[in-house]
Amino acid sequence: MPAFITYNTKIRQTMASLTCTKFTLLAAAAILLQITGLSLFVFGFFPIRPALSGVSGPESFRPPSASCDSFEDQNFTALHPDQLKSLYQVLHYLGLDHVGHLGGRSSILMGPKLQEMDEVIKMIHLSTIQTQESGHGRTLLVVVSDHGMQNNGNHGGSSYEETDSLALFIGPRNSHASATDDTINQVDIAPTLALLFGVPIPKNNAGHLIVDLFHPIEDHQLLRVLELNSWQLLRLLQAQSTDSTCGSFICQAVKKDYSSGLDEYEGSLEEISSCLYLDAAALHRSWKSKHALRSASNDDLLCTVLAYSEFLRTASKQLSHRATDKPIGLLASGIMAMLLSCAMLLGLLFKLDKEIYPRREPSLSNLQIYKFQLAEVLAVVVMVVIVLSMGSSSLVEEEQYLWHFMTSTFFLVLLRQTIQSTKGGDLSNLLNSSMGNGNRTCIQLCSIAVIVISLRILRGWHQGGVNWTHLPDISKSLEMAGSSCIKSFQLLSVVLVISLCLYALSSLWSKSYIIIVIELSYLCAGLLVLQYVIKYQGSGIAASDNDASLAARLIYAFLVMLTTGTVIASPWVLSFQNSHTDLQDLTSNFQSMDLSLLIKDSLFLSGTTYMFGWCLLQLLLQQPVNLMPISLLLIQILATIYYASHGGADVKQWIEIAALYYLGMAGHFSLGNTNTLATIDVARAFIGISSHSTVLSGLIMFAITYASPMLALLSMVMSISMKDINPLREANMGQLFKMILGFPCLVPLALNSLLLVAYTIILLLMRNHLFIWTVFSPKYMYIVVTTVCVLVGVLIVASTVTYIICASVFLGRRQYKDHNSCVNS
Amino acid sequence: MKNKKKGHNIKDITRGDAVVQNLSPSKVLLSHLICGIGLASSFWLAINIYSINLIDNPASTLRLIWLIEVPVVVLLYSLFRKDMNQSSYLKAVARGLLGLPVGAVVHALGAIVLGAPVGTQYFLRTLNWSLLMSTFTFVPAASVYGSSWVDWHRIFAQTKPIGSIDYMICLPAHGAVIGGWFGAWPMPLDWERTWQEWPICVTYGAIIGYLVGMLASFCSAVFRVSSQHVKGD
């Protein structure tokens, strides 16, 4: 504890409160738990299975090299791709699905549509018959439907009606008609088609061929297709087995039953399948030698086919299970860890809220509690709504509407709260801005008006989403209006950001030449960006242009140096400037005033530096049409901080932080991002990079995509600087840290962990949903990266504030000592 | 100081409302029934006489509804004007009619901020919708309270109604706004239904909320009377 604080006798009454160290340790433990849980879940849910690379080639007509089978018969290539020159044509007929969606199974449009389809198939079939008759080749016509539908036309689930679909194979050997109502797996279609066409089976396919479809077929050809499929599956099994040496495929399983015709084995699945393969291969060999001697019986053939089918079935099942089975223990422990971490963070948040805003006596606070509940309740409701909506794929696709709707409702409730806090009959005060209270309310109302208006403009900037992307929006109309229009908006936003930056820096309490130097360097950075925007953006010059990339690199270096330099130097620079005045008038309570102001000023300077450094970087990186949204986002965030700083005790700090977080999330979508991977701007991630570097371009891609949440997180340093920080009022340094860093760190962490854990559970529940890979998994990726963004942002905020307070206290102590020695002498 | 002032206000209001406060539940029911019947008859007229409906012709149907509902509400609520001694019935009617465009502006701004589409093709819909919302919320309050900021603040900012008149204004108005807010939920979904368009489902939500609010106001009137009886005993 610093010496000059010891005289402070007013120790805050904190009953059963956590000390700062405990608090920090718990929060750090929660974060570590979250990271561990997340990694466990991600590696359990998205397992990395070794897959064979490349496409299948002629090697698929040879036995696997690692096989212990010595069977070599290169002459037996009845179905070589060169022999069958196949021409593929894929026709996707969409109308039936659409009719189903419009009117269900029994729609009046269904009959005519089916008839139309029949006509199309008839037409194709007639033309294939013609070509066959004229001897131009053989055609296989395959009609498959990818799903059925429920009575109301919906599909995507796994009910009988939804998976009841058709597979019709019309080939040249149409003498054989077999109708089967058995269940076949989708994975079986690929090997069947490949073998019917006489081309290699895809390397990583886990299905086995549908033997029925090959009839009528010569015996040796039937065994050949079974053999080819077996080789392909064996290769895949070998690639995926844990030790892919030849030895593992020696039959290690024990024969269980010798009596029955087919061998049954006991042992691990891998061992069983290798034994089955060896059996089938041996039978095949013996059949072939008998066939050559013309002594092969029908039983021999049947035995071989059965042996191959058994192997194929086992291997296919084993491979499918590997692809779909989830390690339950891993997933459960991951989710438990994330749940625990979420509960810890929320618990800490409640504890902190209770400690900082102790409930007053009921007689006094009845009104007070009621008054501020609505905004707090809504802040929680926002999260509940977002979490609930994530279970529906349509709402995940259109998440931007939800964030905008909830965030604007939140701010409208804050508006109502502000009006509420004016006493009845205060209309004159409200309108008459000369009075203190009225002035304050007026400022608050104006800031909320600015926030909601810019929120609405941002919502209209990019339509976003999946279903309503075609609707007109501002970015489309700007692009229609031409590049000069976009250019003027770009210039306007750059000028806006620079002027806001200079205004913010000039509102610092201390005025000295160093501040002017910082202002000038920011002006310089802004002008560099302006020059880059004018010269290189949208003018058709490629980003790979040498001058452009050099200029971009110069701006990167300048911004990074300026930001880190200012943040590190801020307490020293400001205290140096303060000490000049202090030596002249040595007032008795200079430490208290000075230290508080020094901390606030340094924090404000650092916060401004972070925000504007980030904004200038974004002006450089974002696509031209997004520059205006960046400046609007900046205005929103500044207005929120301004609103809260004029709200006094009426606006709880955690409400402010939650508002900033929501603005950041709503802004994420207004920069044109969606929950699909298509909107990630990969091209702009190579600005200023001369050689290909995955790490650097990944960092830039992250900066472009997460511009808005990161800006909101970085703005928390400035928001902290607006609070009443008095190091001498707190019992100790720990208490001080807890008071000012508690909410800015905990609120984003807790809100994000809530989203993360809820979405993890939803992803697990939706694992069999039709849209798991198109909607839910990309969204999960975004959520995971948002978590990374929040962690990085909180780390930056916490370390900056800690550094500045420690440095300021150190400086204050030194000044105090200097002052004492001065007085003594 | 703050508390003193509040106590003073409350006393003032109770004294001021003394004349109208003991509005019997039957009267509350009657006035709400008249409003509800006005709403129902406007729908009946739209469907049977003009053969238009909310889904196919939202703008013209909304116009018809508010054109019928406004006179009903204004004439009815002007009877309950707060300052009966100072202002005449006609003055209250004029106040109510003045409140209509003001409320419409507020509602239109609110809707646009919350994401209502902006554009010339939506202008008429938004205009008529906001006039209807104003009929539910601003018009009765303007007829009863005039420009008394204290009352407006009490009803709409603090939601602290005192007496049955306050409840009659406060609950349906809040119901309409909250119902409209919930009514906006299906709008972004990809169900491809015509009623998902602005402002059809929002209007349905608002009307349902309004009806629920009226029901709640009647219940509160009944409850208050019974509790007063208990107190009296």
Of A405, A409, A425, which has the smallest distance from its Cβ to B149's Cβ? Answer: A425
A80-84, A559-563, A729-733, B226-230: which has the minimum mean pLDDT?
A80-84
Q: Does the pLDDT at position A266 exceed 80?
A: no
Helix (H) or strand (E) holding A593: helix A590-621
Interface of A with B in 456-475 (CB under 8 A): 456, 459-460, 465-468, 472
Measured CA to CA in angstroms, residue A769 lies from A155, A158, A175, A358, A777 at distances of: 10, 9, 40, 47, 11
Give pLDDT, residue A67.
Answer: 44
| Cα–Cα dist A789/A682, whole Å | 18
Q: Does the pLDDT at position A348 exceed 80?
A: yes
Give pLDDT, residue A197.
Answer: 77
Closest CA to A748 of A698, A788, A703: A788
| Token output for A126 | 């007639």
Q: Which has more pLDDT, A662 or A205? A: A662
Q: Does the pLDDT at position B18 exceed 50?
A: no
Q: What is the dihedral of CA A162, A163, A165, A167, to 10 degrees?
A: 160
Where does residue A588 rank: exposed (0-12), middle (13-18), buried (19+ CB within 10 A)? Answer: exposed
Q: How do residues A197-236 score in pLDDT, each as one tens digit?
A: 777 888 888 888 888 887 777 888 888 888 888 888 888 8
A-chain CB neighbours of B157 within 8 Å are 416, 419-420
Q: Does the pLDDT at position B14 exceed 90?
A: no
Q: Does the pLDDT at position A353 exceed 60?
A: yes
What φ, ψ does residue A143 adopt, rounded to 5°? -115, 115
A23-27, A167-171, A411-415, A612-616: which has the minimum mean pLDDT?
A167-171
B181 touches chain A (CB under 8 A): yes
DSSP for B170-208, written as a single string:
HHHHHHHHHHHHHHTTTTTSS---GGGSTTHHHHHHHHH
Instruction: Choose the mutation target among B1, B2, B9, B114 for the interface with A, i.e. most A CBs under 10 Å.
Output: B114
B-chain CB neighbours of A463 within 8 Å are none
Interface of B with A in 136-155 (CB under 8 A): 149-150, 153-154
Q: Does the pLDDT at position A176 exceed 50?
A: yes
- A521 CA: distance to closest CA in chain B (Å): 38
Q: Are A106 and A87 in contact (CB under 8 A)?
A: no
Of A422, A424, A456, which has the smallest distance from its Cβ to B112's Cβ? Answer: A456
Three-class SS of residue A747?
Answer: helix
Q: Are A454 and A666 in contact (CB under 8 A)?
A: no
% residues pLDDT > 90 (chain A): 30
| Cα–Cα dist A308/A312, whole Å | 6
- A394 CA: distance to closest CA in chain B (Å): 6
Q: Do A452 and B187 touch (CB under 8 A)?
A: no
The residue type of A115 is Q
Nearest CA in chain B to A415: B157
A66 touches chain B (CB under 8 A): no
At A665, the pLDDT band (50, 70, 90 cuts) reads: very high
Nearest CA in chain A to B110: A412
At A790, the pLDDT band (50, 70, 90 cuts) reads: very high
At A52, the pLDDT band (50, 70, 90 cuts) reads: confident
Question: In Å, how far from its chain's centre is CA A316?
Answer: 33
Give pLDDT, residue A242.
Answer: 60
Q: Does the pLDDT at position A595 exceed 90?
A: no
- B124 CA: distance to closest CA in chain A (Å): 19
B186 touches chain A (CB under 8 A): no
Give pLDDT, residue A186.
Answer: 82
Of A102, A398, A425, which has the smallest distance from its Cβ to B188's Cβ? Answer: A398
A109-113, A285-289, A331-335, A509-513: which has the minimum mean pLDDT?
A509-513
A802-816, B25-39, B59-73: which has the minimum mean pLDDT?
A802-816
What is the pLDDT averaged over residues A763-768?
Answer: 87
Residue written as token pair 């061929």: A209
| Cα–Cα dist A70/A63, whole Å | 9
Q: Does the pLDDT at position A173 exceed 50?
A: yes
Q: Do A412 and B184 touch (CB under 8 A)?
A: no
Q: Do A419 and B190 touch (CB under 8 A)?
A: no
Q: Do B188 and A395 touch (CB under 8 A)?
A: yes
A388 touches chain B (CB under 8 A): no
Q: Do B118 and A465 touch (CB under 8 A)?
A: no
Closest CA to A506 of A515, A514, A498: A515
* Mean of all residue pLDDT scores within chain A: 81
A-chain CB neighbours of B158 within 8 Å are 371, 420, 424
Give pLDDT, residue A516.
Answer: 85
Q: Are A664 and A751 in contact (CB under 8 A)?
A: no
A-chain CB neighbours of B154 within 8 Å are 424
Give pLDDT, residue A735.
Answer: 81
- B94 CA: distance to closest CA in chain A (Å): 22
Q: How do residues A65-109 score in pLDDT, each as one tens digit?
A: 544 443 344 433 444 444 444 567 788 888 888 888 878 888 888
Nearest CA in chain B to A398: B188
- State the complex-level ipTM: 0.90
What is the pLDDT averaged over residues A650-672?
Answer: 91
Q: How do residues B101-152 score in pLDDT, each as one tens digit?
A: 999 999 999 999 999 999 888 999 999 999 999 999 999 999 998 888 888 8
DSSP for A164-195, written as a single string:
---EEEE-S-TT------S---GGGHHHHHHH
Helix (H) or strand (E) holding B231: helix B200-232
Instruction: Choose the mutation target among A360, A456, A775 for the interface with B, i.e. most B CBs under 10 Å.
Output: A456
Three-class SS of residue A265?
Answer: strand
Q: What is the pTM of this model?
A: 0.81
Q: How do residues A535-551 score in pLDDT, each as one tens digit?
A: 887 655 555 577 888 88
